[in-house]
Each structure stands twice: as C-alpha cells, then as structure tokens.
Structure 1
C-alpha cells in the first residue's frame, strides 16, 4: 500500500514538473511591434554574429515565436512571412505611432464630422439670438418712445387742469368781487320814501 502511494506521489511530482517546464518553454505567440527605430536587422539566429536575413521597419507588427536563454534575442515572423531573430529590446507590446496614426486620423475625421453639425447648430442659434436681440432692442425703443409720449400727455393734461382751475378761480373771484361792489353800491342808493295814505284826507 505504501509502495503504491509512493508511486502515485512520484508520478504526480514528475507530471507537475513536466507541465511547468512546458509552460516555461511555450513561446509567446502574441502580436508585438517593432519600437520607434528606423529599422532593425533580422538575423538567422539569436545573435548579431548570425547572417542577416533582412530588416524590419519601425512600427511593423511581428509575431513572437521563441526566445533565447538569455532573453536578449527573440524569434519573430514579420508581415512578409519571414522568420528570424531580432534583439528583444526593440520589441514592444503596444502599437507604434506609425501603426496607430491611420486609426487616429480616422478617429479625428469622425470627430470633425460629428462636430460639424454641432457647429452649424451653434451658428444657427447665434443667428437666432442676434435676431431676438435686435427685436428686443426695437421693442425697447418703441416702449421708451411710448413712455415719453405718455409722460408728455400727462404733463399736458396736468397743465390743462391747472389752467382750467385757474380760470375757474379767476371767474369765481371776479364774480365775488362784482357781488361785493354791487352790495356796496346798493347801500349808498337813496331809499325810496313811502307814500302816505293820509294826504287825501
């Protein structure tokens, strides 16, 4: 029983170690990009002393398939299907500016296209605001003119009322003075004597 358990335990250890070794040696086949350099050489092996197969331009996408023990060189497949080794320091996981520039230009074009209707709408609203401002100024001017006319009419009405009151006052005063004079004159008139009824007797 102990022998069977030891065999099973040993088999598990060997299997685990083999799996870890395979996972460590498994190549990273994700897409990578050449960093922002003019170009780099692709060699036939993991080192500069190997034959140069060609060059890869900056920003070009490549597929990483393997790496050497030191990690200084990686094996890649370029967009032309060539397989070779390049220095790992020139390999990045983010797209280069050359790769992203067309996408950025497309996004910029879409953004400008979406902004154009907004600019037209803003221009239309500005025109409406200017038209309403002009209408408001015209109405305010007409209101000011109407207020001035109302003020002038109120002043004329007040002057007319004052003149009428003065006229009534003068007429009433003249009548009162006339009555007083008439009363005074009447007091100075000779009184008429009463005729005696006895003169016939």
Structure 2
C-alpha cells in the first residue's frame, strides 16, 4: 500500500519535471555522451528498499517503473557526473537508478533461498544415510541384546559354579570327618577288645600243666 502511495506521488511529480526534462534532454544527452562509461556487469538492488527507475541519468527524468529490493540487475552504462547507472532488470526493462542503491553482493533474499536449498539437500542426504544405516543399527541392537543375554548366562554359570564348589568343599570335609570317626572307632574297638579278651579266656592251672 505504501509503495502504491509513493508511486502515485512520484508519478504526479512527473508532470512537473517533464517540461524540465524536455528542456534539459538535449544538454543531458551531451553530458551522458561525454561522461558515460559503457559497461555490462551483474549486481543487485540493495535490500530493505525498493527504488524507481528513471528515463534518464538523474531524478529529474520521469519515473518509468520501480524495482524491488534484492532484484538482480545488469548494469549497462554509468554516468559519473550524476552518479546514476543504466540497468536492465529481470523483466528486461531498461532505466536509470541511483548508484547508491546498487550492490555487487548477493542479496539477502537470494542468500536465504540458496541456503534453504542447501539445507533441504543436506536433510535429504541425512535421511538417505539414516535409511542406509537402519539395517546396521538393527544388527547392532540385536548383537547388543545377544551380548546382554550371554553376559547374564556367564553370571549365572559363575554363581552356580561357586555354589557347587562350596557344596563339594562341604562334602569333602564331611567325608574326612567321617573317616576320622571311623578310624577312631576301629582304634577304640581294638583297645576295648584288647582289654576284655584276656578276661574272657580262662587261664590253665599251673599244677595240672606240670603233671601232664
């Protein structure tokens, strides 16, 4: 809306300067022929503004259109005296603009568009890599689960082995104690028999032994 209002004001002022343009066109044309450098370079309209194109190399010439900020333009000529350059815009329109609004740096909008495309390309590549790595990730998860199972089995076997060893040690001690008790019983039995047997066997009389 603001652009339309400014454009209307500028067009209304065109009628005032149109007469001056006609009177000064011949002189200006001489100046342009003397002070204009022929060139063709690419550039951009500076960001955060839009500018008017004039029919000649100064603001005294009528406005023939406007150019949005960030638009790519091609510089055709330059007038060193007025500081205006003749350009061709993306719509193939030709006109003169103030050189202060011209820049060779890539516009912010074009930089944003380029970075957006690069970001989309990078995201697509990351998605492809993720899809390619999905089977490997699944295999890693399966191997990790199997490793956890084997680790648990090793812990269980270690515990069982420790338990069996404790039981074997206990049984060995019990068998050793039983053998000791058995040996002690035999020795005690032998001792008792040695003490009892002499009393059980009758002794021969000495006289009878001599008579015979």
Using structure 2 for the length normalisation, give the TM-score: 0.71
Flag the 1:25–1:75 CA change in 2: closer, same or farther, 3 A.
closer
Contact 2:88 2:94 in 1 (8 A): yes
Flag the 1:26–1:38 CA change in 2: closer, same or farther, 3 A.
closer
Cα distance in 1 for partners of 2:77, 2:167 equals 106
**1:79 aligned to 2:79?**
no
**1:35 aligned to 2:46?**
yes
Contact 1:27 1:64 in 2 (8 A): no
- Counterparts of 1:124-135 in structure 2, within 5 Å, are 124-135=135-146
Provide the secondary structure at the position in 2 that maps to 1:64.
strand
Q: Pick one of 136, 144, 153 that aligns with 2:147.
A: 136
Ranges in structure 1 where 5+ consecutive residues have no aligned partner: 1-23
Could you tell me which residue of structure 1 aligns to residue 159 of structure 2? 148
> Residue deviations 1:46-71, cap 9 Å, x none?
21111111112222221112222346
Cα distance in 2 for partners of 1:181, 1:71 equals 144
Could you tell me which residue of structure 1 aligns to residue 130 of structure 2? 119
Cα distance in 2 for partners of 1:162, 1:173 equals 16
Q: Pick one of 183, 192, 197 that aligns with 2:204.
A: 192
> Residue deviations 1:117-158, cap 9 Å, x none?
222345544443433332222222222221222122212222
Question: What is the Cα-based RMSD across aligned positions, in Å?
Answer: 2.6
Ranges in structure 2 where 5+ consecutive residues have no aligned partner: 1-34
**1:95 aligned to 2:106?**
yes
Could you tell me which residue of structure 2 aligns to residue 104 of structure 1? 115
Q: Pick one of 175, 180, 184 that aligns with 2:186.
A: 175
Could you tell me which residue of structure 1 aligns to residue 29 of structure 2? none
Contact 2:54 2:95 in 1 (8 A): yes
Cα distance in 2 for partners of 1:77, 1:142 equals 80
Flag the 1:132–1:153 CA change in 2: closer, same or farther, 3 A.
same
Cα distance in 1 for partners of 2:88, 2:139 equals 61
Contact 1:71 1:88 in 2 (8 A): no
Cα distance in 1 for partners of 2:58, 2:164 equals 106
| Equivalent residue pairs, number | 176
Could you tell me which residue of structure 1 aligns to residue 19 of structure 2? none
